[in-house]
Homo-oligomer: A and B are copies of this chain.
Amino acid sequence: MVQLSGKSLIGFTRGAHADGEFRGVNPATGEQLAPAYFAASTDEVDQAAVLAAKAFEVYRNTPAAVRTALLRGIALEIEELNGTLVKRAVEETALPAARVSAEIARTCSQLRLFADMVEEGSWVDARIDRGDPTRKPLPKPDARSMYRPLGPVAVFCASNFPLAFSVAGGDTASALAAGNTVVVKAHHSHPGTAELVGLAISAAVARFDLPEGVFSLLFGPGNQVGTQLLSHPSIKAGGFTGSRAGGQALMKIAASRPEPIPFHAEMSSVNPVLIFQGALKEREDEIVSGLHASVTLGAGQFCTNPGLIFIPSDAIDSFISKLTEKMMNTARFTMLNSQISRAYHQGLSTLSNQPAIKLFSGQNDSDGCGCTAAFAVTDSKSFLSNPVLSEEIFGPATLLVSYGDIGELSEVARTLEGQLTATVHATEVEIENHQDLLALLETRASRLILNGFPTGVEVSHSIVHGGPFPATSDARFTSVGTRAALRFVRPVCYQDWPDSALPDELKNENPLRIWRLVDGELTRE
């Protein structure tokens, strides 16, 4: 049985009992959970970053097989914690045990997907242009390049995925896969879950005789630890999933350091759903049920929660009545923590005070962390004239916007900010007839879903969980799926280097049998 200590993991040693004590809280009961957690001191943050830089010198040159083993080892260590981990995460988040178990499974299969990617090896984009000493007027040098790791990565955990987007989540897995060391800032909302997973990673690092600085975990109740960490000269990149305000504050820190660094924030998205008339006629019940399930899943605490639904105005009444029935039969939820719950109720209250808005909601007084599902209705003209209506309300709520015709819908779509996803419900004929609108959506969101629902993000090669600002800080990357590793690498070119001194990926014999671009041709030879 693992004992929680409440102290940061600075490599293999534990932090001290510094100032800034805080505790995990059971959102269902308000109970303060043991043990007390202690903010990492300024010295400890510095030590963790310096250790990460030192370990990077070793870890970045480990063979792919070592990183593969580490990632799989972490998955095994987490699986061994299973009962303890589910219990603690449920206490700290009020998420159902089944959801926590599924998230543990997802976290472990994500670690293994990155392990498979590293084992297969072609992801490094190895390229070889062979030299030609006889070329005129100048000899052509031999040039070979591949992706190499950036350096120590600061990872900021999300409150809404205590496992899959937290200590051993996608940012950590992709950073470690790519050969970077990691310093994680735990989310104050689930410190016990974070400590358990942190100890699992630490155990795997130790088991494979890797230097301790490969992984550290820092606690802190507010912004101070994270700010210091991201500002530290040893940190060379950052990853974050959370609120727009938090993400933008950290973006600013990363960009205004003496040495600016890449910082990936996945922030806010209202995930518009555009429903065309024909599709609604054919599948109204299915669409209402699907949207209701997608809006309320996990108390709506997903970045891909559909927060904005466009419905033809002549079908809105029927849609409202069907959705109302579903919503009224939805159980009361417990949200992740009191801040999120307060923000949800504040968001609903602000929304209901807007002109031309009708709110449909259950009892929604801010009672601890409880809440009920809600939706509001407006029309596209009102939506266009009031920017408040396009703001994300994090929780089980959505806004229905009625539109008159496709021209009106296109006009609204054109004003949308960057999104993680955009969903369309359309018949085959409607897809053909409205290609301009579909093409427009591609400039607003990075995952385009047809006749489905935005929640549920596959961890795969082709997934893109990203999007134009403010969905993320940089639309050129994804924080989920194997492409996520590309956030934390840079191409390095070796010119006229002897075979023996080249990385295995670039040696003449191709000992790893990876796909490489040799003189412009992709080959495994």
What is the interface residue range for chain A against chain B? 35 or more
Q: Does A431 contact B (CB under 8 A)?
A: yes
Q: Distance (Å) between the CB of A216 and the closest chain B CB? A: 20
Listed stretches A15-23, A24-32, A378-386, A439-447; interface member:
A439-447
Q: B462 contacts A496, CB within 8 Å? A: no
Q: How far is the CA of A486 from the CA of B147 in the complex (A)?
A: 13
Q: How far is the CA of A65 from the CA of B363 in the complex (A)?
A: 59
Q: How far is the CA of A145 from the CA of B125 in the complex (A)?
A: 18
Q: Looking at the complex, which one of B116, B443, B463, B473 makes contact with A151 (CB distance below 8 Å)?
A: B443
Q: How far is the CA of A134 from the CA of B143 in the complex (A)?
A: 47
Contacts A260-B473, A458-B141 given; indicate if A493 touches B448 (C-beta within 8 A): yes
Q: Looking at the complex, which one of B143, B255, B446, B475 makes contact with A460 (CB distance below 8 Å)?
A: B143
DSSP class of A's interface residues: helix, strand, loop or mixed?
Answer: mixed
Which residues 466-489 of A sit at the B interface, judged by CB distance below 8 A? Answer: 466, 468-470, 473-478, 483, 486-487, 489
Number of chain copies forming the complex: 2
Residues of B within 8 A of A328 (CB): none
Q: Looking at the complex, which one of B418, B439, B460, B463 makes contact with A57 (CB distance below 8 Å)?
A: B439
A interface with B by C-beta (< 8 Å): 57, 61, 116, 120, 122, 125, 127-129, 138, 140-141, 143-145, 148, 150-151, 251-252, 255-256, 259-262, 418, 428, 431-432, 435, 438-440, 442-443, 446-452, 456, 458, 460-464, 466, 468-470, 473-478, 483, 486-487, 489-498, 500-501, 515, 517, 520, 522
Given contacts A127-B462, A259-B418, A451-B496, 20 further A-B contacts (CB under 8 A): A122-B522, A129-B458, A140-B458, A143-B460, A144-B462, A145-B463, A150-B475, A150-B476, A251-B255, A255-B260, A259-B469, A260-B469, A262-B474, A431-B500, A432-B501, A450-B496, A450-B497, A464-B492, A468-B490, A478-B491
